[in-house]
Structure 1
Amino acid sequence: MTSNLTDAIRAAAPNLRGRLLENQSLADLTWFRVGGPAQVLFSPADEEDLSVFLAALDPAVPVTVIGLGSNLIVRDGGIPGVTIRLGGKAFGSIEIDGDSIRVGTAVPDMRLAKAAAEASLDGLAFFRGIPGSVGGALRMNAGAHGGETTDVLTQVRGIDRTGAARSFTHAEMGFRYRHSSAPDDVIFTGATFRGRAGNREAIEAEMDRVTAAREAAQPIRERTGGSTFKNPEGGKAWQLIDAAGCRGLTRGGAQVSEMHCNFLINRGGATAADIEGLGEEVRRRVRETAGVELHWEIKRIGVDPTQADR
């Protein structure tokens, strides 16, 4: 994808301090290691830089936000407009005050769990089992091993599409299973969580249990994107996928994991179309065999080049 978008952005916001890159590959920023480029990739220096950028950006330019790329398929045609990725010290900070933990949204969930344990704060050990960043956890109410983001969150801050600072209480986030009702145009920049006083050794033992359970049941050393489909009400997605005969199913370089069939993996050389197409085939087979419509948990973004000109 080529355009003069980068030049237009620099002209509208000449004092930007973050990195602004054109036609930047995104494959290396996703756990699947697939996908096309970002037309423009922006990594802001801090909240102020992000605010200035968004205020100056033409409202017609689409904006996409990515985090660690763990629960993400970037389609092979890439992402038009601007892709924003937060990182660095400004969005990777952790501050502990009593039973509260304030973090930037680029902080990996596993690091949040570790920081809470080191401060002897209980209730956040489940984050050890979530392979993403805080920003993604907020957007999808991420959870694992009996805990969810909604259980410990108190407040969120962010910047909206106009560049205005926003804040949200727990109630205003509108959490439900793997979903938040916060406005889609808000880019989360920080969050505050609350733990409870606990025993550090016991908390770390719980984290070790979570780690062992993941390693025993999930293909975490593969190129994967975590759980592919949400669990349907009253059931387990992996059981339906297994019953539909999809364990080990392949398409191109993509495969349904033999270890845990709610995981798709890139065996090497897969395209984004291979992975997404395999997921759609799994959905079709489950629909036919069980009458259940599986819904994607993995976020799929960008342009499908086979559909772009239709």
Structure 2
Amino acid sequence: MKKVAKKKMKKILLIIGILVGVTALGIGGYGYYLYEKTKTTVNDMQEEVKMDQPKPVVQGENLKPFSVLLLGVDERKGDKGRSDTMIVASVNPKTEKMFMFSIPRDTRTHIVGKDYEDKINHAYAFGGTQMALDTVENFLDTPIDYYIKVNMESFRDIVDAVGGVEVNNPRAFEYEGNSFPVGAQELNGKEALSYSRMRYEDPKGDLGRNDRQRQVITSIIDKGARVTSITKFDNILSILGDNVKTNMTFDEMKDIQKNYKNARNQIESTEFKSSGKMIGGIYYGIVDDAERTRIQTLLKENLE
């Protein structure tokens, strides 16, 4: 059960790449040291993928909205793992709004590069980041500009590095030896992981778990943007350098932090509604055409 539960929580850090040290570039006094260390860390995180369209303009006067795919994976020696968390976010510099949603891991869809349909989280296991990205783009009928892949072994450390997260729990529950009362509370890394994992005791199932996960992500974004301690920043950089891969360059991160940072103050989210179905003895989440069109429309509207 522990192994299963561990795989349930693969959700982390919207804009982790955007906040990778970039926030500190605006903190006076640390200057050159932080700049160089951040640049080195980001260079270590680089992992290119083939894109079918040019990246959007994130500097100058003609700023464009952009989209990000966040993959939460549990890679271990001899096991590529699966992307059990897939979050898509779009950021619009004109409206200063961020829109995000999760793609349920059991969603049945066409796997790009394969001749059949399967669970969407299997795309990463079959073909790594490239196949996962291509499959998500096909599912959403929308290009994805950036991706950020996080090894979830680092989740607890990241939460602790930003000083914990603040959540507002809608219903009391206990999980993995932790007790979560109703209402506002602050969680450390271990507690945040448990808070985000629980699913079976939630009346809303995956939807309830996704709500709690987005609370944690939103708090990480907010706390990360307020990091002012050079010690904390060093810890964050060390954790990210070992556990994050992205196609977002250092210069793009700087431009995004400078030109898009206000979007973190207006985050809107929604959820895919699906129905469970057994096919060939395997459980799948079925998203009907109307629901997929609804999400696609909201995403495209924020991307203009």
The TM tier, using the shorter chain, reads under 0.3
- Larger of the two Rg values belongs to structure: 1
TM-score (norm: length of structure 1): 0.24
| Larger relative contact order (CA 8 Å, sep ≥ 6) | 2
TM-score (norm: length of structure 2): 0.25
